[in-house]
Structure 1
Amino acid sequence: MEFDLENSLTSLEEHHSDTVPNLFASESDHMPSRNFLHCLKNSGFNVSFRQEAISLLLQAQYSCNYDPFIPYLAVNYMDRFIAKQEIPQGKPWILRLVVISCLSLAAKMKNTHFSVSDFQGEEAGFIFDTQTINRMELLILDALNWRMRSITPFSFVHFFISVLELKDPSSSQPLKDRATEIIFKAQNETKFLEFKPSIVAASALLVASNELLPLQFPFLKCSISSCALVNKVSKK
């Protein structure tokens, strides 16, 4: 069954009464550690590794016409993996192998066909066989404790839209679309790794509402800020 990033804890479409509190309680388990964030701030190698990896994933999205949620999920796997696994420097082939393996895992979770041959060509400089990729996938799975149903900002968008109590229900879809676009773009910025997925989701929706519904923005901001489940301490 395909994994839905907007409904991380259940395969059902509806949000049960206990699902949202569980999301808030579990979201920190799906974030990179503080040590990783510290290393990103103090290591040019880690930052450049991540930037190049994201660039490769976005290339794969455009060249293979993937659902944008697939590279997004792959980046989440990669961040959590390199937070636990030290990446040796001076071996550029490792970056491509990690990217391919994370993309392959994300495609499997989204029940999407992934062709290694479409992603790695001779011009890439490195060609990996299926066995090598499978070994890296197992290494990633082990580092992530097999927690592949990642809790991301998308897991909270539906909830926060319901909290907003919009005057015009038809405006919910444009808000969701704009917030989704903002969340996708935010993933490129390492700064956002410091914030919980719920905070990123709430912030994206507030930016979207300020753009699309400026007259309602003060009320909408108050609705989210006063939500009992929102952790006022925005950083992990």
Structure 2
Amino acid sequence: MDSDLGNQLTSSYDDLQCSFSISNLFVAEADQITSAVGAIDLRARREAVALVLKAQSDCNLKPSIAYLAVNYIDRYLSKREIPSDKPWIVRLLTVSCLSLASKMQMTVMTLEDIQRNEGFVFNLHTIQRMELLVLGALDWRMRSITPFSFLPFFLSFFSEVQASFLQALQAHAADILLKALNDVKMLEFKPSVMAASALVSATYEFLPVQSSSFRVALASSKCVDKEKLWKCSNAMAVAAATLTASSPETSMTVFSHLGSSSESQPAAGCHLKIPVRDENDRQ
């Protein structure tokens, strides 16, 4: 598996989703959690995440590009320190990781686009040198598995829901995942758990009728760690609450009983598919 996920920019990021079955993605994601989280410079990370989210909004970047860029930033900061006398390196690191992430997803984006609302612009040669430093620090392992790898899988739990609603639900879950980037504690959760948690929150807010059934489907599935799922969902609820100010109650209310045994059956009129995986699926 390492050889598949590891070396370099020989194929697009989207090819990763095509070449791996969902079972293999679940197996491989264990290697994607950032190690040495405690070594990350939190000040530098906060600044970098803010810059990524600003660029994502200003340039209308795909959320998956922004998320992948932060993945690179986290992994870089877990291995390298930012010199205290060169704080501008955080900005350079951010631009370089956004550039790498866009290349991995085969998205055409000029460096001027990324930096167009900043006070100064790094030249191409400087950014390319930083890209090489990032690639070296990450051992050229650039095809990271992120929560966006799993969103289509968990959306397949739904049936008899119009495609337009599913698209809107996925977009809202993506917004929640971007908000969650601000909390470094989220790095402890696997990408699949993050994806499922974002959809739990998005379903409660966007398709409340399906919310109970979706949570029951997740609880009945063997795909995710239930304890981690509920923990992540509660942590993500704070981020979700900031997205929908018009909601009559915050997401924390519904997440307080996610593991309730009383929710043993799907809600009436709600249809969800419950994929069950066993060891044979991994062959």
TM-score class, shorter-chain normalisation, is 0.7 to 0.9
Distance 1:155 1:176 in 2: 12
Contact 1:32-1:193 at 8 Å conserved across structures: yes
Contact 1:31-1:80 at 8 Å conserved across structures: no
CA deviations on 1:48-105 (whole Å, 9 max, x unpaired) are 2111112222332334343333222211111111112222223112111111211111
Q: Which has the higher contact order (CA 8 A, sep 6+)?
A: 1
Contact 1:166-1:172 at 8 Å conserved across structures: no
Partner amino acid for 1:53?
A: A
Distance 2:106 2:162 in 1: 31
Distance 2:160 2:117 in 1: 55
> Max radius of gyration: which structure?
2
Distance 2:148 2:122 in 1: 32
Whether 1:178 aligns to 2:172 is yes
TM-score, length-scaled by structure 2: 0.68
1:68 corresponds in structure 2 to 63
Q: Which shows bigger deviation, 213-222 or 102-111? A: 213-222
Q: Which shows bigger deviation, 150-159 or 68-77? A: 68-77
Q: Which shows bigger deviation, 114-123 or 174-183? A: 114-123
Contact 2:53-2:178 at 8 Å conserved across structures: no
Partner amino acid for 1:176?
A: Q
Contact 1:98-1:136 at 8 Å conserved across structures: yes
SS at match of 2:143: coil
Cα distance change, pair 218–65 in 1 and its aligned pair in 2 (3 A): closer
Distance 1:131 1:58 in 2: 24
Query: What residue ranges of structure 2 are gaps of 5+ in the alignment?
Result: 1-10, 232-283
TM-score, length-scaled by structure 1: 0.80
Partner amino acid for 1:134?
A: Q
1:89 corresponds in structure 2 to 84
Whether 1:10 aligns to 2:4 is no
Distance 2:111 2:155 in 1: 38
1:43 corresponds in structure 2 to none
Contact 2:44-2:82 at 8 Å conserved across structures: no
SS at match of 1:205: helix
Partner amino acid for 1:228?
A: K
Identity score, percent? 47
Distance 1:177 1:65 in 2: 13
Contact 1:24-1:198 at 8 Å conserved across structures: yes
CA deviations on 1:17-66 (whole Å, 9 max, x unpaired) are x6111111111322211x22x235xxxxx222111112222332334343
